[in-house]
Amino acid sequence: MKCIICHSEDIRITAVREVLRVENDVVYVPIQIPVCFACGERYYDRQTIRYLEEVERQLKEGKANLQEVGKVLVYS
């Protein structure tokens, strides 16, 4: 597999946190996906996209099991 952005072949399955936003909240969703180590491009397969859509649906319905790990702050 070659990166479509930079054509590097250094693509590895990597644990990353996908960031989803629900109104003012930021939710990190741990996933494992191929990531280009040369440019950082992330590759999402159909299954991962479906999984993230399902998580997003649960978040909107307030059904997700969430743990607070930090604060989101606005400087004013």
Site string for Zn ion, 36-75 (x = CB under 5 A): x-xx-x----------------------------------
Separation of alpha carbons 14 and 37, rounded Å: 10
Separation of alpha carbons 56 and 5, rounded Å: 27
Nearer to Zn ion, 18 or 41 (CB): 41
Q: Could you tell me if 40 and 34 are in contact, meaning their C-beta atoms sit under 8 angstroms apart?
A: no
Residue 6 contacts Zn ion per CB under 5 A: yes
Interface with Zn ion (CB under 5 A): 3, 5-6, 8, 36, 38-39, 41
